[in-house]
Amino acid sequence: MSYARNLRCRECHREYPLAAIHVCEFCFGPLEVVYDYDAIRKVVSRERIEKGPASLWRYRDFLPCDAEQAIDIGAGFTPLIHAKNLGKVLGLPKLYLKNDTVNPTWSFKDRVVAVAATRARELGYEKLACASTGNLANSVSAHAAAAGMEAIVFIPHDLEANKQLGSSIYNPTLVKVRGNYDAVNRLCAELAGSHNWAFVNVNVRPYYSEGSKTLGFEVAEQLGWRAPDHCVVPIASGSLFVKIRKGFDELYKTGLIEEPKTRMSGAQAAGCSPVATAWKEGSMNFRPQRPNTIAKSLAIGNPADGYYSLVQLRDTNGACGCVTDEEIIQGMKLLAETEGIFAETAGGVTIASLKQLVEQGKIHPEETTVAFITGAGFKTVEPLAEALNPALEIDATMESFEEAYSALKPREAIA
């Protein structure tokens, strides 16, 4: 069973039944799931959660669907690593990394899609759909396959071959849409409104976005049932950024942790930075942008939760990093070379922003800080082609090896 009670508009607070709807009919505000926290408090405990499965479903009491019927390919409960090496480089002795690259389809999207797919099937849908440039398409295709549902996945026509492959292997209906970014966006919004499909980030978005809370739950549990002092989170639609904090707040509401005082900081690429730009200008009104960055998984020019991200930055005394493509690549390399984690470009945005915020004095050395690494590096290898050291190619002789090895320059100090 689920303790979800209804949907509520974030703007005007009108309430709606738990259906496949996502905007308020009156003010077009986004709808959010509301729970019966009194009922949750009566059943939930740290021990109950700790005895649960090693997946996001250990937090079943806080999710808007019946976990007994979960579409479960093993999403969630990923490692939280004390990043001593990177922390030493950045001067943050209490730095942790939440490594979500190890999810079943190698990104945090498995969390949101697991919840959306489960709820979609509960609502009677047989078809799961999305429009994506990569991670979301992979995850929807995989979850639909495991659930025996049909997947319809829309991608831009010029998407790189290896990104298509990550969806194609699960045999969805893959639709390549010709047109520029705006045109693809508008078409997909229209399709979502005209077909009786569960479009994961449109008509079932209120349930989908709840999956991101589990990152907050896990971090608090893995830190010994306490919220961190500071989080650095990549911002695309902004939903992940907002929901991680909601996760801490729900644990507090139900008596599982002390009151969280977590500062929430964002990370965006300069080539798609509607939130970072508004934040820098001191505005709560972001202007949509046309994305132009190597961090394609963050390339959302008109973020659905952009306004709420700005509110959260303000209310938690956060800050927002904004980094160039070159800094993103350096961030990916720094993470790999210090902690052995190969993140996609979004991870480069997070690490480069973390570094930037430390240099700006926005993150204090004594803070317990968690940076969220949301997707694996093999998804975005193209930008790295020119940035990495070449291999040594030698003849099969000792002499050849010694010659090549001794000619190597000593490794440059990191950072």
Would you tell me which residues interact with another protein (CB under 8 A)? 22-23, 27-28, 30, 130-136, 154, 156, 181-182, 184-186, 188-190, 192, 199, 201-202, 205, 236-237, 285, 287-288, 296-306, 346
The minimum distance between CB 240 and another protein, in angstroms, equals: 11
Closer to another protein by CB, 43 or 189: give it. Answer: 189
Closer to another protein by CB, 24 or 92: give it. Answer: 24
The minimum distance between CB 8 and another protein, in angstroms, equals: 17
Closest CA to 413 of 326, 324, 337, 328: 337
DSSP letter (8 states) at residue 231: E
Closer to another protein by CB, 214 or 297: give it. Answer: 297
Closer to another protein by CB, 309 or 356: give it. Answer: 309
- Count CB neighbours of 37 within 10 A: 16
Closer to another protein by CB, 181 or 252: give it. Answer: 181
The minimum distance between CB 401 and another protein, in angstroms, equals: 42
R_g over Cα of the chain:
21
User: In the numeric block, which tokens belong to residue 61?
Assistant: 């009491």
Q: How far apart are CA 181 and CA 177, in angstroms?
A: 10
**Which residue's structure tokens are 């800094």?**
327
Closer to another protein by CB, 83 or 371: give it. Answer: 371
CB 117 within 8 A of CB 149: yes
User: In the numeric block, which tokens belong to residue 353?
Assistant: 């922003």
Residue 60, C-beta contacts closer than 8 angstroms, at least 6 positions apart = 52, 67, 70
The minimum distance between CB 176 and another protein, in angstroms, equals: 13
Q: How far apart are CA 350 and CA 150, in angstroms?
A: 34
Closer to another protein by CB, 83 or 298: give it. Answer: 298
**Half-sphere exposure (Cβ direction) of 377: Cα atoms closer than 13 Å:** 17
The minimum distance between CB 402 and another protein, in angstroms, equals: 46
Burial class (CB in 10 A: 0-12, 13-18, 19+), 328: buried
The minimum distance between CB 1 and another protein, in angstroms, equals: 30
The minimum distance between CB 83 and another protein, in angstroms, equals: 24
Coil vs helix vs strand at 7: strand
